[in-house]
A and B are shown apart, each in its own frame.
Chain A
C-alpha cells in the first residue's frame, strides 16, 4: 500500500514501486511452500476441513497452537463418532466415546501436515514445481502451486496457499492421470492469537471409560538389522529410515524400511521365517488401500509388504528390487 503522501514525492514513489516489484519477483513457488511450511508449524490456527478420499468424505476440526516451542493440537471428528485426538508434546490421547475407551500413546508426529520439503536440484529432478497464479478459494486470495511428477513413479499435488496467511486452504493429491484421489479442503479457518488450554480438552465425559496406555511399545530401534541401503530404486528414491519393531501377533521383530524421494514415502515391512512349511512358495498381491498402493510378496520364508502414497508400479518395483538382491542380509549382522 503506497500512502497518499508518498505519491506526491515522485522519487519516493518510484522507489516504493520498485520495491514492491522486487517483492513480487521473489514470490517463486518455493517462496509459497516456505510460507506454507512456516504457517503450518509455527502459527496458531483453528479450522474445519473436509477430507475426501476413495469417495468418502469426513469433516474434522483442528486446533493447533505453538507456545514456548511446544505444540498442542486437537483433532475432532464432526461426523457423529465424537472421536477426539489431543496431542500435547509427544503424548497422544485418543478419546473414543463410541468405544467408551481412551488410548494414550507416544506419538511425536503432528496430527496435521507439516508441509513440503525444499525443492533442491535433486527434488527438482523428479518433480516440477510451478505456480498457476492466484485464484480465489473460499473467498480468499490464494496462490495455486503444483508439484507435478516427472515420471509415473509418484503422485502430484495441487495446493491453494492463502496469500494472507500461508495456510494451505485446499490440497489435492493427483494420480498419474491428473485425477484427484485425495483432497483436503478447509471450510473455515482462523488464525488465532491466543488459544487457552481449556480449548484442548476433549469436552466429553469419560466416566466409565476404559483407559489403555501404550507407553513402551513399539520397541523401535534406531537402526534395524541388516544393510538395506544398496538396493536399486526408482529415480530419486533413497532409504531414509530403518527400524525394527514389535508388532502384535508377530513373534519376531518386523523390519520397517522407509524409502522416500523427499515428497512421497514408501514403507516396506519385512518379516522373516513365515510360512515355514513351504519355503519355496511364492505368492504376491497388489492392492489399493485408500490412496495408498500396497504390494506384498512372500518368498523363501520372507514376507515383504510395501505401502505408500504412490502408484502401484512403484511398490512393485521396490519389492522386486529388494527380493532380487543376491541374498537377504543376515539379520545377525549390523549395518556396515
Chain B
C-alpha cells in the first residue's frame, strides 16, 4: 500500500469512517509506527485549532506523561508474577514433554514436538479452560530440552515415530473425544488438501505467533446413534 493510501486510511480512521477490519490493521500499525502516530497527533491538534480549544499541543506532552505513567502499570490482562508459577501445576503434561514447552504454549499456540511415548499416548485428561493470555516474554518453568544446545545441522535427529505438529487447543472437544493433539495432527494432514484459497489454516496457526489454538467450541451431542435415511 502506498504511503498516501495509508495516510488516507489514517484520516478516515481518525473520523471513525474506516471499516472495522481495516481499523484493526491500522491500529496495530499505529501502535508501532512513531511517524504515523505523530501524524495522528497532528490531526487531533488541527481539529482542536478549528474548534478554538485551549492548550493545543503538537507533541504528546500529555500523552507522554500518561505513557510514562502507564508503563509502570501492569498491562491489561497480564498475570501478576505471583500467579504465574501455578501454570506448571495446571499443565503437567506440558512440562513432562522433553521438548519445547514455553510460556507461549500455555496461553497461546505453541508448537510442541511430541515424542511418541509408544503406542499409547497418555490421554490428555482434564484440559483446563483457556488461561489468561500472558505475553510471550513472561517466564514459565521450561522443561530442559533433551537435546544438547549447540546442536548443529550435522546432528539431525531422525524421528523413530512420526513426529508432528501439535497445537494444543484451549478447550477440549468434550471429554477427550478428540484430544487437542490429535485434532492438530488432523488439521495438518487436512491442510495438504484443504480449500485452495485458504488452505493455510494449520500452517498459519503454526507460523503466527498468537493465533491461539483454534477455539474449539464444543457443542456436545448426548450419545446418539447417527441414523441416515
Contact flag (A, B; Cβ within 8 A): yes
Task: Report the separation of the CA atoms of residues A208 and B147 in the bound assembly, to the nearest whole angstrom.
Answer: 10
Across the interface, name the chain A residue whose C-beta is closest to B218: A287
Contact of A99 with B111 at beta-carbon distance under 8 Å, contacts A83-B209, A210-B147 already known: yes
User: Is A81 a contact of B225 with CB atoms below 8 Å?
Assistant: no
**Stretch with Cβ within 8 A of A (4 or more), from B34-42, B66-74, B81-89, B176-184:** B176-184
User: Is B215 a contact of A285 with CB atoms below 8 Å?
Assistant: no
User: Is A283 a contact of B223 with CB atoms below 8 Å?
Assistant: yes
The contact string, 1 if C-beta is below 8 Å from chain A, for chain B 87-102, is: 0000000000000101
CB-defined contacts of A79 to chain B, threshold 8 Å: 208-210
CB-defined contacts of B51 to chain A, threshold 8 Å: none
B186 CB to nearest A CB, Å? 5
Task: Report the separation of the CA atoms of residues A42 and B212 in the bound assembly, to the nearest whole angstrom.
Answer: 33
B228 interface contact, C-beta 8 A: yes
Q: Which of A316-330 touch B at CB < 8 Å?
A: 316, 319-321, 323-324
B15 CB to nearest A CB, Å? 19
Q: Which of B189, B218, B226 contacts A319 (CB 8 A)?
A: B226
Task: Report the separation of the CA atoms of residues A185 and B5 in the bound assembly, to the nearest whole angstrom.
Answer: 15
B11 interface contact, C-beta 8 A: no
Q: Which of B1, B155, B195 contacts A264 (CB 8 A)?
A: B195
Contact of A248 with B121 at beta-carbon distance under 8 Å, contacts A157-B197, A182-B198, A214-B163 already known: yes
Across the interface, name the chain B residue whose C-beta is closest to A114: B196
B61 interface contact, C-beta 8 A: no
A52 interface contact, C-beta 8 A: yes
User: Is A51 a contact of B194 with CB atoms below 8 Å?
Assistant: no
CB-defined contacts of B206 to chain A, threshold 8 Å: 83, 85, 94
Contact of A309 with B159 at beta-carbon distance under 8 Å, contacts A59-B28, A77-B207, A101-B100 already known: no
Task: Report the separation of the CA atoms of residues A183 and B214 in the bound assembly, to the nearest whole angstrom.
Answer: 15
Across the interface, name the chain A residue whose C-beta is closest to B208: A58
Contact of A246 with B209 at beta-carbon distance under 8 Å, contacts A113-B200, A267-B190, A324-B228 already known: no
A144 interface contact, C-beta 8 A: no
CB-defined contacts of B158 to chain A, threshold 8 Å: 213, 215
The contact string, 1 if C-beta is below 8 Å from chain B, for chain A 275-309, is: 00000011111111111101011110000010111
The contact string, 1 if C-beta is below 8 Å from chain B, for chain A 99-117, is: 1111110010101111111
Q: Which of A179-216 touch B at CB < 8 Å?
A: 182-185, 187-188, 207-215
A59 CB to nearest B CB, Å? 7
B212 CB to nearest A CB, Å? 7
Contact of A248 with B204 at beta-carbon distance under 8 Å, contacts A218-B189, A285-B173, A285-B177 already known: no
User: Is B217 a contact of A309 with CB atoms below 8 Å?
Assistant: no
Task: Report the separation of the CA atoms of residues A214 and B116 in the bound assembly, to the nearest whole angstrom.
Answer: 13
A1 CB to nearest B CB, Å? 23
Contact of A188 with B1 at beta-carbon distance under 8 Å, contacts A212-B163, A282-B224 already known: yes
A80 interface contact, C-beta 8 A: yes
**Assuming A99-B102, A117-B196, A290-B201, what are 19 further A-B pairs, CB within 8 angstroms?**
A50-B25, A56-B208, A58-B210, A59-B25, A85-B203, A107-B192, A171-B198, A214-B163, A241-B193, A247-B162, A247-B164, A267-B189, A282-B226, A285-B178, A287-B219, A289-B215, A294-B183, A309-B194, A324-B226
Q: Can you list 22 contacts pairing A with B, beta carbon distance less than 8 Å?
A: A59-B25, A79-B210, A100-B145, A107-B192, A182-B198, A188-B1, A213-B159, A248-B116, A248-B164, A258-B193, A260-B193, A265-B193, A283-B223, A288-B216, A290-B214, A291-B198, A308-B190, A309-B195, A309-B201, A320-B226, A321-B228, A323-B226
Which chain B residues have a beta carbon within 8 Å of chain A's beta carbons? Answer: 1-2, 4-5, 21, 24-25, 28, 100, 102, 104, 110-111, 113-114, 116-117, 119-121, 136, 145, 147, 149-153, 155-159, 161-164, 169, 173-174, 177-178, 181-183, 185-187, 189-201, 203-212, 214-221, 223-228
Which 6 pairs, one residue from A and one from B, show the smallest C-beta to C-beta distance?
A: A81-B209, A249-B121, A217-B162, A324-B228, A58-B208, A251-B119
